[in-house]
Amino acid sequence: MRFTSLFATAFCVLFVNAASLTKRAVSDQVQLCRNDIDAISVEIKNVTDALSVYTSADGISVAVEIHVREQLLEVALKKAGVDCCTAIGKVTDEEADAMLTTVTPVIPQATSALSLIVAKKPEMVATMFAMGIVREDIKNLNSQTVTLYTCIRDIGTEQHPTYIPTINDFISQLDNSFATSSAAYSNRTITP
């Protein structure tokens, strides 16, 4: 009897410790930011699924449907920009690791999406009114991405060995991709 209750007490203590450890490992605020980044990934896929099959034969109405999907991506980026910026200065090493796990796969996805936009330039040039829409979309996505990645970087602790340099590397990849796509949509020249 005594043994049983001792065991029960020990079990409870263990259980409570495990629960508070899990909670401490990744705070609700950081988890919200991670969920928002996962949502961005879903929206990038939604845009690229439609964009990858687009040809000028589809016409401006289909191009506008892709733009509507892009607007959903902007909504997701804005939400992350708010939620991730609220998490500033609160993270532990475990949280920084968790952030890297979430962010890392989205970077090649984002740079591929920007490359796809560049590859679709000839189709957009051949679609009346499309160039201006895409140019504006790139500009908005760029500024929302800058807001978000600045906050994601500021979340990192200097104590974490690789967080800041890794995020800085992601930032230059994104900046380069945005610069290339902005340049492409600044003119109507088709480079072979």
Residue ranges in contact with ligand NAG by CB under 6 A = 42-43, 46, 68-69, 72, 121, 183-184, 186-187, 189, 191
- Least distance CB 184 / ligand NAG (angstroms): 4
Q: Tally helices (H) and strands (E) across the chain.
A: 8, 0
User: By C-beta, is 47 or 167 nearer to ligand NAG?
Assistant: 47
- Least distance CB 43 / ligand NAG (angstroms): 6
User: By C-beta, is 103 or 117 nearer to ligand NAG?
Assistant: 117
User: By C-beta, is 27 or 46 nearer to ligand NAG?
Assistant: 46
What's the first-to-final CA gap in the chain, in angstroms? 83
140: Cβ–Cβ under 8 A, 6 or more apart, which residues? 74
Instruction: Give the integer Cα–Cα distance in Å for 64 and 134.
Output: 10
- Least distance CB 116 / ligand NAG (angstroms): 14
49: Cβ–Cβ under 8 A, 6 or more apart, which residues? none
DSSP state, residue 50 = H
- Least distance CB 150 / ligand NAG (angstroms): 25
